[in-house]
Amino acid sequence: MTRKAIFPGSFDPITNGHYDIIKRGASLFDEVIVAIGVNAEKKYMFSLEERKRFIEEAFKDEPKVRVITYTGLTIDLCKKEKADFILRGLRNPADFEFEKAIAHTNRSLSQIETVFLLTAARTSFISSSIVRDVLRNGGEIKKLVPEAVWASIDK
């Protein structure tokens, strides 16, 4: 049986924290599907195509990682992709409380298990919103995101 995990998020943009979780997830699962959720209500800094390209470029040498986009419930995507796991990263206690509620809901609606990985200490402070704020204010993001992101942004 293939062990497949969905790693859902908006990835606006992918950060080094996301990268770390995906890389470590690839060592635990046969396949990690990075699923970029589409939310029409949300304003994004980067287009869906850019976000997908950033992740594909960051993992171009990792055959266990696939990148897709989706709308709707993550558990429905899991069923469609035949994935039994949702992969999530935790940076802090607030993340845990938020993610725990979602994991309990998903588990009550399906047989999908959520697997939590703690982010590495060196990336635990990074969030996409911090990266966007640094970018909006002309700051340097090289230490916060994979090369695929910072190399494509014209300074």
Contact assessment for residue 149 and residue 54, using Cβ atoms and an 8 Å cutoff = yes
Residue 18, annotated as binding a ligand: yes
Residue 11, annotated as binding a ligand: yes
The residues that are catalytic are: 18, 42, 91, 128
Residue 110, annotated as binding a ligand: no
Residue 128, annotated as binding a ligand: yes
Q: Give the CA distances from residue 114 to residues 5, 83, 155, in Å, rounded to whole numbers and listed in that order.
A: 9, 11, 39
Query: Which residues have a Cβ under 8 Å from the Cβ of 103 and sit 6 or more positions away?
Result: 86, 88, 114, 116
Residue 124, annotated as binding a ligand: yes
Residue given tokens 């206690």 in the structure block: 93
DSSP string, 36-96: EE--TTS--SS-HHHHHHHHHHHTTT-TTEEEEEE-S-HHHHHHHHT--EEEEEE-SHHHH
- Cβ atoms within 10 Å of 77's Cβ, excluding its own: 20
Residue 59, annotated as binding a ligand: no
Residue 127, annotated as binding a ligand: yes
Residue 42, annotated as binding a ligand: yes
Q: Which residues are annotated as a binding site for substrate?
A: 10, 42, 74, 88
Which positions make up the binding site for ATP? Answer: 10-11, 18, 89-91, 99, 123-129
Binding residues: 10-11, 18, 42, 74, 88-91, 99, 123-129
